[in-house]
Amino acid sequence: MQPTTPETNSPATPDDWSRRAVLKLSAVGLLGAGFGGATAIGLTRWVRTTPLPYRFFSPAEATLLIAICEQIIPRDDAPGATDAGVIHYIDRQLSRAFADHQAAYRSGLAAFGKTCLQVYKTPFEQLSFTQQTEAIRLIEAEQAPRELWGEQSQQGFFSMVIDHTRQGFYGSPRHGGNRDYASYRMLGLAYPNLIGQNRYGAKRPG
């Protein structure tokens, strides 16, 4: 997979297309039950908005988590986690529904940051895209230095971030993520009518 950043686009490779296809398929399970006859139509282009201040994360924690989320859903031919404002979804929910995960995020991000400094001698967000992928695979396999993680599961931490990243990317913008309906545009879907919760009216993207 070729490196991507929020500021630049890189040509899509076969691996890029495969990953994007997987993301589209995974969205079916997350969104399908809530769609009320959504149809594929042309949507207005997504527009960046000014980032909101963080409620839970420090700037350093947010910078690290943004880079991790961008590994999970990278920007290619369509917006990625950064464009969709996934960090703001997770940050907002940590003061609400995800309050029980505050300690896991705080300690997990600290341990992951220390892992990169010990193994690569460089902060995660400054590593090449390939090295970032290697670092992610290290914790997925529970192979990061145990003394840095203590009793916290490395794989459990990353699985939590994956789940929350997907929710922030595919969920309703009213929860803080999916900025400018990024995932709906990627999927080519009309704004989904949530059965029993169609509260949006004229606010749908046109």
DSSP 179: G
In-domain check, residue 70: yes
Q: CB 205: neighbour CB atoms within 10 A?
A: 16
Residue-range definition of the domain harbouring residue 69: 58-188
Give the total number of structural domains in the chain. Answer: 1
DSSP letters, 86-125, are: HHHHHHHHTTTTTGGGHHHHHHHHHHHHHHHHHHHSS-GG
In-domain check, residue 30: no
Which residue in the block uniquely carries the two structure tokens 């595919």?
Answer: 170
In-domain check, residue 167: yes
Q: Which amino acid is at 148?
A: L
- Helix runs in 34-180, H state only: 59-72, 86-93, 102-120, 129-140, 146-149, 154-170
Q: What is the dihedral of CA 160, 75, 120, 161, to 10 degrees?
A: -10
Percent of the chain beyond pLDDT 90?
A: 48
pLDDT of 83-92, one tens digit each? 888 999 999 9
pLDDT of 134-190, one tens digit each? 999 999 999 999 999 999 999 999 999 999 999 988 877 777 776 767 767 777 766
In-domain check, residue 197: no
- Residues in a beta bridge with 8: 5
